[in-house]
Amino acid sequence: MNERLDVNAVVEDSRLGAFQVLVLLQCFLCMVVDGFDVQAMAYAAPALIQQWGIDKASLGPVFSCSLLGMLIGSLTFGSIADRLGRRPVLIGAAFSLSLLMYATRYATTVEQLVLLRLLTGLAMGAIVPNVAALATEYAPMRNRIMLLMLVSSGLVAGGIIGGAAAAALIPAHG
């Protein structure tokens, strides 16, 4: 007898288990970090303008490059994840995002900031489609949409957390 196990059918017919909750929680946290970074430049811009002595228009390319990077990253890394697997691409993107966010702290010119935000945008763009795909794959069919929405709300939660952190940290530390 040659029976094959249909993993999709098992996931779709099962109750939400601890492993699935862990995967979905990790996806949510990736979205929180992504949401924080999407908003981080907006929170830091007024202090940067003042400290660097630049005009507001100088930061326009910085904001645009993040969004361009997200577009390119989502189109590119969604396809790469189809071949290599979602987990390695998501882990690589989250690790890269962390390093690039940290490196952004050391930017001293608008040009450096543009490059770093473009690269950060690539990583952010890789996270969103792969989190959505993973959340969809691990969620049982009857809860799939609700769980995907909860995971996706991490993007907004990250922006809120970033705003609260910025309000507390920027006045004290610049």
For 141, which DSSP code?
G
Secondary structure, 3-state, 115-152: HHHHHHHHHHHHHHHHHHHHHHHHCCHHHHHHHHHHHH
pLDDT of 40 reads: 86
Q: How far apart are CA 112 and CA 62, in angstroms?
A: 9
Indicate if the pLDDT at residue 120 is higher than 60.
Answer: yes
- pLDDT tier at 95 (50, 70, 90 boundaries)? very high
Q: What is the pTM of this model?
A: 0.84
**Cα gap 113→45, rounded to integer Å:** 11
- What does the DSSP 8-state code read for residue 139? S
Please state, in angstroms and as integers, the Cα–Cα distance from residue 87 to each residue in 64, 105, 151, following that order.
28, 28, 16
Split at pLDDT 50, 70, 90, the class of 47 is confident
